[in-house]
Structure 1
Amino acid sequence: MKQVEFENIKDKLKNFRFNSMEYYDYDQLKNYEVNVNSEDLFIAVGYDEENKIKKFHWAANNWTELVEAVQKEKNPILITFVPEEWKDNFISAGLKEYAIFREYWISDISKAHQESCEYSLIENVEIDIAAQVTMECRGQSRGFHGESPEWVRSWIDGTLGGLVNAKDMSILVHRENDEVVGIVCVAVYGHKSEKGSILWVRELAVTPRVQGKGIGRSLLKQALTYGVEHGARRAFLMADECNYNAKKLYESIGFVPSKEEVQIDMVYEVAKQNI
């Protein structure tokens, strides 16, 4: 997809009832190919490296045309940002839940952040082991499959696609015997918001052999310290609805689940449908 094509598509999104591209920029979609581009349906097809599956980015006015396009595919297809009012129709058509992510917020970091916590930033020589920590946590949450060393480096460098307005991107680490066993990715965005800039917490991961020791809680508190020091007034993260342990931890720190904002991701597993 060429950038001029992407810009034209983004301009057309207002003409559709729903779409999956609201929060994406060109760098994230440049390797996608436009498959359908009509007044009622847009589909760009690509490969989701993070989830290792073919993926549709889409815009549609009704669910039937989108589902019909999915069912024509010969490979499993990931569909993200499915409208909640379409979910039952998608299930009836043979799609299944992949993950349901809910937003969690701290509206005032100063109230949740009672005391400053020392934190340690990742070093370049630790990029590979940090990626390995995330890979060891695959399957602990739906939709989480770990990250590559390239992804970790791009986060640190601030070059990860889709984060144009994010600043102060870094990774905090927990070490035991000089070895990284836990990480949390942090960034600050929304600097022009009237409610104040936002600390984004992402990819909290602790290697399984040391889980249950409070490392995740410690990293979250360190993340809040990082946010305060970098001017954030609020904090944000997302959690899968089935990741009960994580949700309990987040709420104990002060994160509050949104009652409205939810991201429904669904998958059409072709092989199983044809049995």
Structure 2
Amino acid sequence: MILLDGKGTAATLRMGLAVEVQNLSRQIARTPGLAVVLVGNDPASQVYVRAKEKAALEAGLNSMVYRLEIETSQKELEALIDKLNADDNVDGILLQLPLPGHLDSQACLERILPEKDVDGFHPINMGRLALGLPGLRPCTPSGSLRLLAHYGLNPAGKKAVVVGRSNIVGKPLAMMLAAPTINATVTVCHSGTKDLGAECREADFLFLALGKPRFIKKDMIKEGAVVIDIGINRTTSGLCGDCDFEDVKDKVSAITPVPGGIGPMTIAELLFSTIQACKWRNQL
């Protein structure tokens, strides 16, 4: 069984990105900039933002973090987004989700310029993904596929099952897997799937993003399958994925740990997206 080390892989990738940032900075006579906006005091969001800030600084990016009070109004948040859109030193804008309940997340995401939308959530970027056109891609699906590529695991021609259909992970991941560049045969499962176990047992590559701790057991997995566990669940015994790692580890050929799997790859992918956004904005 291969343990797909996202933490180590992301660290290696960041070293290469730091060199690329140096070269790009010389070309454009400034440091590529990433702005992260955090509203409120959600503990998980604060941890994620600190990790993103640390990774951006280590890669040599100009990291700008805007921490707003939970009482921030829709108008105030949109005004900040407009300011960042107009700032030529900002190449990428990331709005940390979830937002407090009184704010309209979709309206805020759509307000970010598509060319600065490093999370890839703007309808234009999602539409470009669906059409197979170049654009900024959601970081978690991209990071998952980059981790597979790092280990030489190729889903081309294989059966890939995605459990979860969120706009953040499941839907874009399914489109990426089905794209001609990867050529997997894709099935998307969700809460309405009648026999989830039967679908999962067909998977050569099983991607889990359903948000249920240790839900997937070994009797739901094909012998020798590759499991990419994207779920991060907080339980009384600590963080765990959607897959019961201890139960399945002797049956799979490769699996991501939680934590230390897809989380670090998502952050690394954010840096890739910021660099790509900078290149496109400067026509490089």
The verdict on a shared fold, with TM-score over 0.5 as the criterion, is: no
Q: Which has the higher strand share?
A: 1
Q: Which has the higher helix share?
A: 2
TM-score by length of 2: 0.29
